[in-house]
């Protein structure tokens, strides 16, 4: 199972989804691509089949590297010419030197790590900026599943049942902001995306994002 | 001094006439081109036997050096004159193959210390007129690479597009990137490590002791007696061969199946298929390999430890490297397990080098790098092709 395929969409189809249906689960890739400065050094942790790295190399001419847990994902990346190593976000980030990348990206992966706090701290150590995207567990549809139906959610974006999902550390947007504060990180940019894949208004209060944002993308600085 | 040992005896000793009359091209390095060995002495003259496949382009930017393993040779993609078998990597090197000879100029040389035409212990020492035997200085992986660098220079190539190899060949690849960082655009070390671990040294020592315990070894001077330590060398090969496989593969291929019999023989013949198989491996090996060369090759691997040359820090060895790396390991390889390969990857990460790393899922053990593994081939193809694009080589 690919670490980056946690939102239910199988990662090998992520590219085609991006092209044909930008409003689907991996709309965060497009948003992330906009956040990355051209010609920068980027490490994508949990890079799946390399869809985001390819996109960034094409659009932003980045010098990209990736870490991916699944052999299938790594093989696809290497076969498409990306510099990707088979590795584990929980174990292998320690080997990267401080400030070795301009951006370290964790896209739809943090909820599948064993130690999200350690992983986030490592991202901030390795990269000048950490870009993190994740499914918002505070979204109203999830609250509906848990609060009213009394069941763990099985939605279009989170399609696996509780006993088979690799997503073991869900958080809400507010939870994530609290963790960033605890680590002393500065939120440079924050975005919430609604169910139709649209960016939500910047002026909206946190509670609104937390209730209606299906996914969130954060740019953090140390 | 003249050669007073009959050529016949020499050939008996060395396993084949290739040492003395190589079928392949040979690069000669005269007394004015000595090789500075790690042992602290110069070797001159010396020679390297090699093969090439494909065509060198006008700008000389498409050369790939393929490094062979412990008992390999430079017949990577062409028929071996000794065994008559196809090249050991003929499934990987050739027109339209992962290492595409329609696009790249592939060089493979017999390593220094080998026995297929490059200077090794079976070669005649011009000072004495008889084979070096154990008077040849111990050869290291770095010495092999130095010699290859001299060959590459002789071929008029400044920078290699890629250096590729598995096992001991992978060690040479790593050494290339460290010794000549600006002459290697892309490096593909496979099923290897940056050092030889204690367990691997232990298996090599068992093999060497088997050779040296054979009375026909004669202190390494078997050539003077018209003998060769075939029994010792066969045992060495049998032991080593087990380390190239995996328990799963042995179980799958042989299990406890009996060889040409219905019941146990209650004796010490080869009752089991695995015994018969190993004996066959041992016997065919001695027909093609020089025993002293086996001692030198295993020693070279044992001495290999890149980090030791850099104050114990492997990352320091790779610091500033502009080479694009791709490492490949095999899940059931217990000779160079994934962790050994991963240690190199971590050092490259720490050196902020460009590195890919693929672990191929297979039960075929260390030998998988010589076998048809589709995911492995895809990885080679993907990495080499993308490096070619980055190098500006036309497809």
Model confidence over A183-197: pLDDT tens digits? 999 999 999 988 887
Confidence class of residue A71 from pLDDT cuts 50, 70 and 90?
A: confident
CB A34 within 8 A of CB A60: no
Q: Is B75 on the interface with A (CB under 8 A)?
A: no
Give the separation between CA A121 and CA B139, rounded to whole angstroms: 47
Using the CB atoms, write b or e for A69-101: b if 16+ within 10 Å: bbbbbbbbbbbbbbbbbbbbbbebbebbeeebb
pLDDT value at residue A11: 36
HEC string of chain B equals CCCCCCHHHHHHHHCCHHHCCCCCCEEEECCCCCEECCCCCEECCEEEEEEEECCCCCCCCCEEEEECCCCCCCCCCCCCCCCCCCCCCCCCEECCCCEECCCCEEEEECCCCCCCCCCCCCCECCCCCCECHHHCCCCCHHHHHHHHHHHHHHCCCCCEEEEEEECHHHHHHHHHHHHCHHHEEEEEEECCCCECCHHHHHHHHHHHHHHHHCHHHHHHCHHHHCCCCHHHHHHHHHHHHHHHCCHHHHHHHCCCCECCCCCCCCCCCCCEHHHHHHHHHHHHHHCCCCHHHHHHHHHHHHHCECHHHHCCCHHHHHCCCCCEEEEEEECCCCCCCHHHHHHHHHHHHHCCCEEEEEEECCCCCHHHHHCCCHHHHHHHHHHHHHHHHHHCCCC
pLDDT tens track for A15-38:
333 333 334 446 778 889 999 999
Helix (H), strand (E) at residue A220: strand A215-221
Give residue B395's pLDDT. 66
Q: Which of A82, A83, A96, A126 to mutate to test the interface with B (most CBs of B within 10 A)?
A: A83
CB nearest A75 (choices: B324, B346, B379): B379
Question: In the prediction, which pLDDT does A118 show?
Answer: 97
Closest of B232, B199, B207, B230 to residue B296, by C-alpha: B207
Surface-to-core class of residue A169, CB atoms within 10 Å of its CB (0-12 exposed, 13-18 middle, 19+ buried): middle
Q: Residue B356 has which token pair?
A: 């890919």
Between CA B274 and CA B282, with CA B279 as vertex, the angle to 5 degrees is 125
Mean pLDDT by runs of 10 across the 395 residues of chain B is: 67 82 97 98 98 97 98 97 96 97 98 97 96 98 98 98 98 98 98 98 98 98 94 98 96 96 94 97 95 98 97 96 97 97 95 93 96 93 93 84
Q: Which of the two residues, B279 and A3, has the higher pLDDT score?
A: B279
Q: What is the pLDDT of residue A158?
A: 83
- What domains can you pick out in chain A, each with its CATH number? 3-221 (3.40.50.150)
B122 and B293 in contact (C-beta within 8 Å)?
yes
Compute the distance between CA of residue B159 and CA of residue B388 in angstroms, rounded to an integer.
13
Nearest Cα of chain A lies from the Cα of B385 at a distance, in angstroms, of: 7
**A162, pLDDT greater than 80:** yes
Q: pLDDT category, A90, cuts 50, 70, 90?
A: very high
pLDDT of residue A31: 87
- Structure-token pair, residue B218: 């004669």
pLDDT at A29: 85
Residue of B384, B307, B379 whose CA lies nearest to B347: B307
Q: Which of residues 288-347 of B touch A (CB under 8 A)?
A: 324, 326, 342, 345-347
pLDDT band at A13; cut points 50, 70, 90? very low
Nearest partner of B276 among B246, B254, B301, judged by Cα: B254
CB B154 within 8 Å of CB B54 = no
- Secondary structure E strands in A2-139: 41-45, 63-68, 83-86, 101-107, 127-135
Q: Kindly report which listed range (A10-14, A161-165, B22-26, B292-296) carries the lowest average pLDDT score.
A: A10-14
* Neighboring chain B residues of A81 at a CB cutoff of 8 Å: 382-383, 385-387, 389
**Domain B7-196+305-391 listed as CATH 3.40.50.1820:** yes
- Taking CA atoms, what residue in A is nearest to B319? A97
Q: What is the pLDDT of residue B89?
A: 98
Query: Of the given ranges (A7-16, A36-45, B310-319), which has the lowest mean pLDDT?
Result: A7-16
DSSP A41: E
User: How near does any CA of chain A get to the CA of B381, in Å?
Assistant: 7
DSSP H or E run through A33: helix A27-35
In angstroms, the first-to-last Cα distance of chain B is 54
Q: Which residues of B are catalytic?
A: 167, 333, 366
Q: Domains of chain B: which residue ranges?
A: 7-196+305-391, 201-298
Task: Indicate whether this complex's ipTM tops 0.85.
Answer: no
The highest-level CATH class for domain B201-298 is mainly alpha
Structure tokens given for B323: 């080479």
The tokens describing A28, both together, are 């965060």
Distances (CA, A) of A60 to A50, A157, B27, B311: 15, 28, 47, 39
The pLDDT value given to residue A10: 33
Chain B contact probe: residue of A89, A95, A122, A126 with most B CBs at under 10 A: A95
Say whether residue B357 is in contact with chain A using an 8 A CB cutoff: yes
Which pTM value belongs to this model? 0.90
């Amino acid at each position: 199972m690919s670490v980056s395929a946690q939102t239910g969409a199988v990662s090998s189809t992520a590219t085609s989804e991006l092209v044909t249906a930008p409003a689907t689960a991996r709309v965060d890739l497009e948003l992330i691509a906009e956040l990355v400065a051209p010609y920068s050094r980027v490490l994508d942790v949990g890079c799946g089949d390399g869809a985001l790295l390819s996109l960034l190399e094409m659009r932003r001419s980045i010098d990209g590297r990736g870490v991916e847990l699944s052999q299938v994902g790594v093989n696809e990346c290497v076969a498409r010419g990306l510099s990707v190593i088979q590795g584990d976000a929980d174990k292998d980030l320690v080997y990267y030197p401080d400030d070795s990348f301009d951006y370290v990206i964790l896209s739809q992966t943090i909820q599948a790590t064993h130690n999200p706090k350690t992983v986030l701290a490592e991202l901030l150590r390795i990269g000048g900026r950490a870009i993190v995207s994740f499914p918002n567990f505070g979204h109203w549809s999830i609250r509906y599943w848990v609060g009213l139906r009394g069941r763990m959610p099985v939605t279009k974006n989170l399609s696996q049942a509780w006993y088979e999902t690799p997503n073991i550390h869900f958080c809400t947007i507010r939870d994530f902001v609290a963790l960033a504060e605890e680590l002393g990180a500065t939120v440079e940019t924050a975005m919430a995306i609604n169910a139709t894949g649209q960016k939500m208004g910047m002026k909206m209060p946190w509670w609104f994002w937390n209730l209606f944002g299906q996914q969130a993308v954060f740019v953090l600085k140390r | 001094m003249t050669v007073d040992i009959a050529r016949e005896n020499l050939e008996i000793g060395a396993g084949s006439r290739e040492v003395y009359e190589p079928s392949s091209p040979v690069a000669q390095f005269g007394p004015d081109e000595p090789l500075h060995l790690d042992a602290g002495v110069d070797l001159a003259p010396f020679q390297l036997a090699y093969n090439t496949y494909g065509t060198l382009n006008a700008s000389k930017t498409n050369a790939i050096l393929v490094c062979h393993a412990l008992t390999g040779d430079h017949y990577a993609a062409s028929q071996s004159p000794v065994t008559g078998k196809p090249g050991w990597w003929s499934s990987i090197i050739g027109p339209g193959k992962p290492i595409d000879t329609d696009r790249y100029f592939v060089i493979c040389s017999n390593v220094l210390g080998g026995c297929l035409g490059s200077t090794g212990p079976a070669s005649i020492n011009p000072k004495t007129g008889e084979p070096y035997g154990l008077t040849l200085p111990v050869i290291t992986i770095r010495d092999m690479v130095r010699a290859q660098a001299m060959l590459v220079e002789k071929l008029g190539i400044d920078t290699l597009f890629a250096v590729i190899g598995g096992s001991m060949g992978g060690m040479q690849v790593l050494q290339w990137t460290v010794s000549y960082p600006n002459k290697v655009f892309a490096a593909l070390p496979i099923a290897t490590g940056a050092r030889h671990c204690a367990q691997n040294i232990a298996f090599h020592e068992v093999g060497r002791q088997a050779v040296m315990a054979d009375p026909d070894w004669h202190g390494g001077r078997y050539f003077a007696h018209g003998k060769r330590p075939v029994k010792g060398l066969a045992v060495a090969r049998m032991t080593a061969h087990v380390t190239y496989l995996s328990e799963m593969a042995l179980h799958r291929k042989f299990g406890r199946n009996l060889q040409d019999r219905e019941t146990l023989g209650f004796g010490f013949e080869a009752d089991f298929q695995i015994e018969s198989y190993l004996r066959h491996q041992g016997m065919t090996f001695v027909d093609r390999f020089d025993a002293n060369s086996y001692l030198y090759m295993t020693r070279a691997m044992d001495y290999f430890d890149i980090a030791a040359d850099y104050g114990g820090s492997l990352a320091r060895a790779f610091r500033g490297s502009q080479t694009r790396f791709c490492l490949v390991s095999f899940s059931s390889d217990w000779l160079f397990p994934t962790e050994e390969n991963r240690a190199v990857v971590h050092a490259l990460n720490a050196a902020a080098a460009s590195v890919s790393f693929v672990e191929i899922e297979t039960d075929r053990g260390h030998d998988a790098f010589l076998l048809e593994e589709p995911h492995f081939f895809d990885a080679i193809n993907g990495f080499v092709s993308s490096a070619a694009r980055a190098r500006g080589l036309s497809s």
